[in-house]
Chains A and B, each alone.
Chain A
Amino acid sequence: MEKRGRASILKIEDFLLATPEEAMHDLAAIQFKDDLLQRVKETKISGLIIDLCRIDVVDSFMGRTIGEIANSAALLGAEVAVIGLRPEVAITMVEMGISLGQAHPLLNLDLALEFLRNQTRGA
């Protein structure tokens, strides 16, 4: 495990699991995005899982950044799954009209792995 900014990034199977530690301010979010995309490029992984279980606030910038990560990762050949979104975070995001772009929201790590495996097999 390796710490970049304030997020831990783990490798699992053919995928990366990124867990931001706490609510990120805008700069940290950009850092997070850049690091993650760099890693996707370097390691040639086929999927990315972003776990938001430690995040208790997703502001519009953070939401957009996750969307951007998903869309850019897709261009680099990696699908993005988002897991662990808390109920109160989900409802705030809906009220504020924040979307996750091309990222696929999933319930838990099991389902995310299953989803990404299927995607890779399909490709």
Chain B
Amino acid sequence: MKSKLTSAQFLKEKQKDILETWKKNIRASAGRTFELMTAAQFDQETQSFLAELVKAISSENYEDITRPEYENLLTMLRRISSSRAEQGFTPTESAVFIMSLKEAINTCLGQEIKDPKRLAAEVLVMGNLTDKLALHTFETFVASREKIMKEQAMALEFSNPMIMVWDNLIAFPLQGILDTHRMAKFTTEMLDAITRHQARVVIVDLTAIATMDTATCNRLIQAINAARLMGSEAIITGISPSVASSIVKLGVDLEARTLRELREGIQYAFRVLKLKVVKEVS
């Protein structure tokens, strides 16, 4: 008899349905979630989280999340929410993860339990539990966010390293998490360096940049156009697939030469500067 099942047993039985509803809910409300993470990552995260939740509540403890059976679940939650903070999710986008699970559980409970009194009781119990988890997510998220902000403030202090590759040729290997602030700072640094070193070619190397949001990409494109106005050619090397797709999503023409790796960039720059590397014949 289904109606005799406890919430824990019910959840275990309906795990698949809940997972599907949950994923659907997140998709409907999570804004940039899929701009910032891959579908495979997302599937893996939701699936293992739900499995862990089912395991934790199989102890029939819906109240105290400090008990050992919740330890794995909380660790996972902390990892998920701090990685969200790193990937630049907004608080809402992160909270949606747990909030929409609550909705999904409630929907499934509603479909299965016909007795209104019992339904209300179960919804309340599960609701309390997910609220606690949501609060925990939020605390971790804020803590990681603060840590990142401190780190970024420190990173802003340091200027981007510039490499004087050759006369009239400079290179900027960008690294770390690029946001619009850092990109704006980089733009001024790059343009100043162009004047100072009379650089005819500037190589912007993105090998160490895994992702870039569209606003930052837009700034990068502006920097390249500004360099062109000053009479210098900026080329981009080492672009990653996800940065490439951000640029495509922007729908703008990059109008800049993009080359696979730094060495190709240097080769190209040498051609522009009419320089040649010759192997010495011994």
Partners in one complex: yes
Residues of A whose CB lies within 8 Å of any CB of B are 82-83, 85-88, 90-91, 93-95, 100, 104-108, 111
Complex CA–CA separation, A7 to B225 (angstroms): 27
Whether B231 contacts A87 by the Cβ 8 Å rule is no
| Number of interchain pairs (Cβ within 8 Å) | 51
Q: With CB as the reference atom, state the residue of chain A lying closest to B193.
A: A87
Whether B229 contacts A106 by the Cβ 8 Å rule is no
Please give, as numbers and ranges, the residues of chain A lying within 8 Å of B199 by CB-CB distance: 107
Whether B231 contacts A106 by the Cβ 8 Å rule is yes
Whether A87 contacts B198 by the Cβ 8 Å rule is no
Please give, as numbers and ranges, the residues of chain A lying within 8 Å of B200 by CB-CB distance: 107, 111
Complex CA–CA separation, A82 to B231 (angstroms): 8
Interface size class of B (residues with CB under 8 A): 10 to 19
Whether B232 contacts A94 by the Cβ 8 Å rule is no
Q: Are A87 and B225 CB-contacts (below 8 A) given A107-B230, A111-B200?
A: no
Complex CA–CA separation, A113 to B200 (angstroms): 15
Among the 9-residue stretches B24-32, B184-192, B256-264, the one with 4 or more Cβ atoms under 8 Å from chain A is B184-192
Complex CA–CA separation, A93 to B223 (angstroms): 11
Whether A87 contacts B194 by the Cβ 8 Å rule is yes
**Nearest 8 CB-CB pairings of A with B:** A87-B191, A106-B231, A90-B226, A107-B231, A105-B231, A90-B229, A94-B225, A94-B226
Cβ-defined partner of A85 (8 Å) among B188, B198, B222, B230:
B230
Q: With CB as the reference atom, state the residue of chain B lying closest to A86.
A: B195
Whether B195 contacts A83 by the Cβ 8 Å rule is no
User: Closest approach, in angstroms, between the C-beta of B3 and any C-beta of chain A?
Assistant: 64
Whether A91 contacts B231 by the Cβ 8 Å rule is no
Q: With CB as the reference atom, state the residue of chain A lying closest to B190.
A: A87
Q: Can you give 14 A-B contacts (C-beta < 8 A)?
A: A87-B191, A87-B192, A88-B188, A90-B226, A90-B230, A91-B226, A94-B225, A94-B226, A104-B231, A106-B231, A107-B198, A107-B199, A107-B230, A111-B231
